[in-house]
Amino acid sequence: MNNNKIEPKIVYNFLKSQPLATVSIVNEDGNPESALVGFGEKEDLTLIIGTNKSTRKYKNILKNPKVALAIGFGNEMITVQYEGIAEFMPDDEEGGYKKLYYAKNPSAQKYESDVGQTYFKIIPKWIRYTDFNKEPEEIFEITF
């Protein structure tokens, strides 16, 4: 992880303020696919997303767990590019992740009891943070 201890905190605080992300994956034919998702985050910058086993997202992540997310760029003019590895979380491994996810996305809790509802944690591998509000822009990368 990056030696600068402040940068992960900046990213974490920004992630906490964002309700949605675009997650991009590659299907079995090598074609890209993207989906808008709610997410939760931990201080170590691990993310959690929920999905149903019937979705393309679920099937593609099981075949290729490499994912990329784009987060932000509303009125804040801040973005995070996030690359990581998605890990399927069986019910007995969810721990506190699901609580974080539903605390941030309470409307998603209605799907919790749906047949096929499942969760992935995403372990960060590379993050790029850009704040266009500053002059010059604040840009840094964190490699894990």
Cα–Cα distances in Å, from 21 out to 1, 103, 121?
23, 16, 14
Whether pLDDT at 3 is above 60: no
CATH number for the segment(s) 6-143:
2.30.110.10
Helix, strand, coil content of the chain in percent (nearest 5): 25, 45, 30
**Tokens at 131, concatenated:** 């704040």
pTM (two decimals): 0.92
Instruction: Taking residues 121-138, report their average pLDDT.
Output: 95
pLDDT digit string, tens, across residues 7-44: 999 999 999 999 999 999 999 999 999 999 999 999 99
Domain ranges in the chain?
6-143
Rounded distance between C-alpha atoms, residue 106 and residue 101, angstroms: 8
pLDDT at position 117 is 92
Could you read off the pLDDT of 59-70 as tens digits, one per residue? 999 999 999 999
H or E, element range at 63? helix 56-63
The CA distances from residue 87 to 44, 90, 119, 123, in Å, are 15, 10, 9, 8
pLDDT digits 0-9 by tens, 75-118: 789 999 999 999 998 775 666 888 889 999 999 999 988 989 99
Q: How confident is the model at residue 1 (pLDDT cuts 50, 70, 90)?
A: very low
